[in-house]
Structure 1
Amino acid sequence: MIEAVGLTKRYGTRTAVSDLSFTVRPGVVTGFLGPNGAGKSTTMRMLLGLDAPSAGRATVNGRRYAEHPAPLHEVGAMLEARAVHTGRSARNHLLALAATHAIPTSRVDRVIDLVGLREVARKRAGGFSLGMGQRLGIASALLGDPATLILDEPVNGLDPEGILWIRNLLKSLAAEGRTVLVSSHLMSEMALTAEHLIVIGRGRLIADTSVAEFTAGASQGGVRVRTPQAELLTGLLAELVAGRGEVTAEEEPEVLTVTGTDSASIGRLAAEHGVVLYELTPRQASLEEAFMELTKDAVEYGAVAAPAEQVKERVA
């Protein structure tokens, strides 16, 4: 279990993390989200004892990271996959790490196979692609068979097969009862991998909740309706939702978005008038939409859209 209590980190007059408290529990994959500059990297560095907090405390399995006599067996971490001596082979890099904890060579070979680096295990890490470097970083995190994993952007540089592999790996590790904290900017991947979310912005906690509750709370509401009789149904629905909602025709042919009523009422109305329905789906925000809505005021660097005339002029 990972626990942060009142974590604060100041760099001179700048506060990177402010009074941040959360608990990451075993058995589920927890996503750690936030815009650029939110304080995610600083928080993970404090969890691992790489940065000393200005206030508060961070513990893993009841102790500060530095207090664990054999930390690789307690916490597997990957904050920077490229933190490898470029002249060493992948296998020798792992053997050097293993030697610090008396981890047997058989375990080194096992994690090499687990991450799919068997064919390049004796090649220099300096020649690895970004994806291969990520796999080596993950192998390093898994080396001590730890109860807790802290991974920063683990799918960065991986191809679709690699992304599917790491997704299934993280879920299987959590299913074994391990604590898994994963930071990522890929909302679509987090929606498929994480069950719980910790979201921060400008160094402060914004949300600590399940993925389902997070997206439900940001739901845009309304019902998606697809029908070959869109014009007829639009007129009927306009009367139904008058004064409390609206009917909007989407760009996609034969699709309407209806607010101010529910799926059951739309279905009954369509049946009464013999309108054929191909789809009747309550509209719920995606994780990306929910994240953007919740963190819109916590973005450190925001782009300002240029007028279309300026864009055309620059292109020309």
Structure 2
Amino acid sequence: MIEARGLTKRYGGKVAVDDLSFTVRPGVVTGFLGPNGAGKSTTMRMILGLDRPTSGTVLVDGRHYRDLPAPARHVGALLESRAIHPGRTAENHLLTLARTHGISRRRVDQVIDLVGLRGVARKRARGFSLGMNQRLGIASALLGDPSTLVLDEPVNGLDPEGIRWIRDLLRGLAAEGRSIMVSSHLMSEMALTATELIVIGRGRLIAQTSVDEFVRAASGTHVRVRAPRASELGALLVHAGATVHAGTVHAGTVHAGTVQSAGEPAGEPDVIEVVGLPSPRIGEVASAHGITLHELTPRLVSLEEAFMDITRDAAEFTAAPALAGGNR
């Protein structure tokens, strides 16, 4: 189990992690999500004792990482898949790690087979693809048969078969009672792998909840509305603080606080999608202006849409909207 309490990290005048508290529980896969620059890597480094917190504390199995008598048997980590001497073979790399922790040669063979590297175990790492390096990094993390795993972008570079393999592996390890913390930008994969989420932005906790609750909460403010005076209603809802998409769902590009269209007919001119206001509030606005509603339907959003909604104001780096036709 991982327990962070008031975790803070400053680099000069920059606050990378700000009073962050969370728990990664045994028996579940916990997705660790946030925009670029949110503080995820810094947090993971503090968990593993690679960075010292400015204040606060983080414990693994009730101890600071530095106080664990055999760290690899408590927590396995993958922060950088290419953290291996290119002249070493996969087998020798794992044997070296095993000998520093009193781990048997038999266990080395087990993890090589587990991650599917038996055919290249005696080849030098300099010739490995990104996906092979990822598998070797995962093997290193699993070597001590730890109770906790901390993995940063573990599916990076894996093919579809490899992605499915790591998904099944992590869920199986969690079912054994292990604590699994996984950082990833692939929201579709997190939706299939994680049970719980820790979401941060600008170093602060935004949410710690289940995947289902996170998506359900975001879905409550995505509403499909059909009305004869849809355009007029859309303008009123924007004034009330919503974001409105004109036409069918995803017909236009999203910009907060504007009514959007894709520049061509969307197919349903009397339909808008409203983001940011719940159904009762939309109904109240329509009623106040004498607008008849033919449909008012909350829409279940994806994890990616929910994540984008909740972290929109916490993103450190955002691209300008693309211009129709591009720059000429």
State the secondary structure of the residue aligned to 2:199.
strand
Secondary structure class of the residue paired with 1:308: coil
Deviation readout 1:66-106 (Å, 9 max, x if unpaired) = 10110100000000010001100000000000001111101
Measured at CA, do residues 282 and 306 of structure 1 come closer, stay the same or move farther in structure 2, by a change above 3 Å? Answer: closer
- Aligned partner of 1:14 in structure 2 is 14
The residue type equivalent to 1:90 in the other structure is A
Distance 2:203 2:268 in 1: 45
Moved more, 123-132 or 253-262: 253-262
Tell me which residue corresponds to 1:297: 313
Can you list the C-alpha shifts for 1:236-283, whole angstroms capped at 9, x where unaligned? x769xxx8999x853687997788989xxxxxxxxxxxxxxxxxx962
Match of 2:301 in 1: 285
Q: Once the 2 structures are TM-superposed, how far is the Cα of residue 167 of structure 1 from its aligned partner?
A: 0.3
In the TM superposition, residue 223 of structure 1 has moved relative to its aligned partner by 5.9
Structure-2 separation of matches of 1:166 and 1:35: 23
TM-superposed deviation, 1:302: 1.0
Aligned ranges for residues 168-179 of structure 1 at < 5 Å? 168-179=168-179
| Partner residue, 2:140 | 140
> Aligned partners of 1:312 and 1:53: how far apart in 2?
45
| 1:120 counterpart residue number | 120
- In 2, the alpha carbon distance for the partners of 1:308 and 1:285 equals 26
Tell me how far apart the structure 2 counterparts of residues 168 and 254 of structure 1 sit (CA, whole Å).
41
Measure how far apart 1:107 and its partner are.
Answer: 0.4
**Hey, what's the Cα distance between the residues in 2 that align with 1:253 and 1:134?**
45
Counterpart-to-counterpart distance in 1, 2:23 and 2:71: 19
Report the Cα distance in structure 1 between the residues aligned to 2:268 and 2:15, rounded to whole angstroms: 51
3-state SS of 1:169 partner: helix
**Residue in structure 2 matched with residue 87 of structure 1 by the alignment:** 87
Question: What 5-or-longer segments of structure 1 have no aligned partner?
Answer: 225-233, 263-280
What are the within-5 Å matches in structure 2 for residues 225-240 of structure 1? Answer: none
SS at match of 1:166: helix
The alignment partner of 1:218 has SS state of: helix
**Separation in 2 of the partners of 1:12 and 1:162?**
40
User: TM-score scaled by structure 2?
Assistant: 0.79
Task: Report what 1:3 is aligned to.
Answer: 3
Deviations 1:7-60 (A, max 9, x none): 110111111001100011001100000000000000000000000000001100
Identify if the C-alpha distance between structure 1 residues 223 and 39 changes in structure 2 by more than 3 Å, giving closer, same or farther: same
Paired amino acid for 1:31: G
Q: Hey, what's the Cα distance between the residues in 2 that align with 1:193 and 1:253?
A: 36
Q: Corresponding residue for 1:34? A: 34
2:208 partner amino acid = D
- 2:34 and 2:200 in contact (8 A); partners too: yes
Amino acid at match of 1:185: H
- Structure 2 equivalent of residue 24 of structure 1: 24
The code of the aligned residue for 1:85 comes to H
2:216 is aligned with 1:216? yes
Q: 1:165 to 1:254 in 2, by over 3 A?
A: farther
2:207 is matched with: 207
Taking a change above 3 Å as real, the CA distance of residues 306 and 20 of structure 1, as seen in their structure-2 partners, is: same
How much has 1:165 moved relative to structure 2?
Answer: 0.2
Relative to 1, partners in 2 of residues 1:11 and 1:140: Cα closer, same or farther, differing over 3 Å?
Answer: same
Query: Any conservation in 1 of the 2:279–2:298 contact (CA below 8 Å)?
Result: no
Indicate the residue corresponding to 2:53 in structure 1: 53
Runs of 4+ in 1 over 4 A off after TM superposition: 243-246, 251-262
Number of aligned residue pairs: give it.
Answer: 282
In the aligned structure 2, how far is the partner of 1:258 from the partner of 1:80?
A: 41
Calculate the TM-score normalised by the size of structure 1. 0.82
1:73 corresponds to which residue? 73
1:166-200, Cα deviation, whole Å (9 max, x unpaired) = 00000000000000000000000000100100000
One-letter amino acid matched to 2:177: G
How far is the alpha carbon of 1:222 from its aligned partner? 3.7
Determine the C-alpha separation between the residues in 1 that align with 2:197 and 2:273: 30
C-alpha RMSD over aligned residues:
2.7
Give 1:227's aligned residue. none
**What amino acid maps onto 2:181 in structure 1?**
L
CA distance in 1: counterparts of 2:267 and 2:319, whole angstroms? 32
Distance (whole Å) between structure 1 residues aligned to residue 136 and residue 61 of structure 2: 25
Instruction: Please report how far the alpha carbon of residue 305 of structure 1 lies from its aligned counterpart in structure 2 after TM superposition.
Output: 2.3
CA distance in 2, matches of 1:261, 1:137: 47
Give the Cα–Cα distance (whole angstroms) in 2 for the partners of residues 66 and 201 of structure 1: 27
